[in-house]
Amino acid sequence: MTNIENTQEVLIVGAGPVGLVCALGLAQAGLKCTVIDEVPGVVHSPRAIVYHWSVLAGLDRLGILNQAIARGFCKTDYSYKVHKSGETISWDIGALKGHVEFPFNIHLPQNILAEIILEELKNYPDVSVDWETGFVGLEQDGDGVTVNAKKPDGSEITYKADWVIGADGARSPVRHALGLPFDGTTWEHRFVATNIRADLEPLGYARSVMLIDDVYGAVVVKINNDNLWRCTFAEKADLPEESVLERIPEMFANIIPEMGDDYELVQYSPYRMHQRAASSFRKGRVMLAGDAAHSTNPTGGLGLTSGLFDSYILYEALAAIIKGQENESILDKYSDERRRIFLETTSPRAIENCNFLYHSGDLEVLEKNLQNLRRMANDEPFMLEKTLFTMSMETPSLITGLRTNEGVKIA
Ligand SMILES: Cc1cc2nc3c(=O)[nH]c(=O)nc-3n(C[C@H](O)[C@H](O)[C@H](O)COP(=O)(O)OP(=O)(O)OC[C@H]3O[C@@H](n4cnc5c(N)ncnc54)[C@H](O)[C@@H]3O)c2cc1C
């Protein structure tokens, strides 16, 4: 049996952080929208933790920054360690104080950000989140979009919407339904993200440690104040995925030797990484955002950062179009600009980050990169200039032309 749902102004496919930020922005603009997600609730697998200083003004505009800070923590210290030599290079982005409104990063698991937004959405009766509702297909014409979805019991639901946002992750069934290619590359090696409970700060660990090595390269990051840490490492993809768990203790013994056996493995997740972008982030009345539009390796935490910058301008643009204040042609600008920034700025930097940490076999390149890091540790203006990088991943508002961090100069 097929149920026909009421007409929505916007239907969002995917209740990940990007879909939910769009929903909250649209809700606050007074619009009616529905979010559907195929899973029963927020996904808890180990994913984004770090919110760079540059995305915080956008969270503040949505009224959720204080809760994000309360449920996570603010952090300014960074440390890079060369595995083979033991050289450690550290700096503190607290020097952003006086230059930007929020001079710190936040560490917060993305599932907690999703929970904060879901709580907030309860204040908006015109917004609903339909779990266990998997997108199946869509049809569109000049008047709107018809979306077909399925429940676990096989029953079908049809939604009618004026606009659709596909925020359904890197595999994006919405992108497939639109027939948009997702060109790019897949990294050869496998990444393994682990969440562990351990007390690493007394062992001398900064709350973000990047370990540089062609075998034991890793990111070790504190997740919360309950001593939960993320350790992500890489391994050859031809090693069997089924036995990842058996290899974890040996990797930890090399990556965090000071820890010994004094840890609890809470979660782990092997995954492949891509550098890919959809050929367009808009087709008619359907827009792609977040990982559905672009996928990057997460070294340096640029994945969700880009997705948040997509959502900040997309919900604002859609709200203005629906209210008759703007022409829908600004959505082409959304597509062109977000895609251009991903291909020209975000993806190249994420590739650099990944090669630096995990493929540092070329000693000449390594030394050049280390010189940059040493300078960051000793030359504050240089460090500040480098720290402003993530702001260049933002597209200014399509309505006002302003950035969420207006007034900060990009080097
Ligand atoms: C180990 C790891 C660490 C990371 N760390 C960082 C970091 O520190 N900082 C950072 O910026 N980025 C990081 N990232 C990247 C970040 O996790 C992603 O960019 C982010 O999850 C993208 O959010 P999204 O909402 O676009 O997609 P997703 O989080 O993938 O959400 C997509 C949603 O769509 C739903 N969906 C899928 N198919 C359907 C369907 N057919 N019907 C309905 N719903 C569907 C899914 O269930 C899911 O809820 C990391 C990634 C990994 C893997």
Residue 360's pLDDT band, with cuts at 50, 70 and 90, is confident
C-alpha dihedral (372, 378, 380, 381), degrees to nearest 10: -50
Instruction: Give the Å distance between the CA of 377 and the centre of ligand 1.
Output: 32
Ligand 1: does its nearest atom lie under 6 Å from the Cβ of 271?
yes
Ligand 1: does its nearest atom lie under 6 Å from the Cβ of 165?
no
Ligand 1: does its nearest atom lie under 6 Å from the Cβ of 13?
yes
Instruction: Give the Å distance between the CA of 380 and the centre of ligand 1.
Output: 34
Indicate which atom in ligand 1 lies nearest the CA of residue 46. Answer: 1
Domain boundaries, the chain: 2-75+100-183+275-358
Ligand 1: does its nearest atom lie under 6 Å from the Cβ of 310?
no
Ligand 1: does its nearest atom lie under 6 Å from the Cβ of 24?
no
Ligand 1: does its nearest atom lie under 6 Å from the Cβ of 50?
yes
Ligand 1: does its nearest atom lie under 6 Å from the Cβ of 106?
no
pTM of the full predicted structure?
0.96
Instruction: Give the Å distance between the CA of 291 and the centre of ligand 1.
Output: 6
Indicate which atom in ligand 1 lies nearest the CA of residue 305. Answer: 11
DSSP state of 216: T
Q: Whose CA is nearest to atom 38 of ligand 1?
A: 168
Tens digits of residue pLDDT in 11-65:
999 999 999 999 999 999 999 999 999 999 999 988 999 999 999 999 999 999 9
Instruction: Give the Å distance between the CA of 16 and the centre of ligand 1.
Output: 6
Helix (H, G, I), strand (E, B) or coil at 315: helix
**Burial readout 218-247 (b: 16 or more C-beta within 10 A, e: otherwise):** bbbbbbbeeebbbbbbbbeeeeeeeebeee
Are 221 and 50 in contact by the 8 Å Cβ rule? The answer is: yes
Over residues 377-400, the mean pLDDT reads: 95
Are 383 and 371 in contact by the 8 Å Cβ rule? The answer is: no
Instruction: Give the Å distance between the CA of 404 and the centre of ligand 1.
Output: 23
Instruction: Give the Å distance between the CA of 165 and the centre of ligand 1.
Output: 15
Distances (CA, A) of 20 to 55, 217, 316: 15, 33, 14
CATH architecture for segment(s) 2-75+100-183+275-358 = 3-Layer(bba) Sandwich (3.50)
Tens digits of residue pLDDT in 278-314:
999 999 999 999 999 999 999 999 999 999 999 999 9
Tens digits of residue pLDDT in 245-264:
999 999 999 999 999 999 99
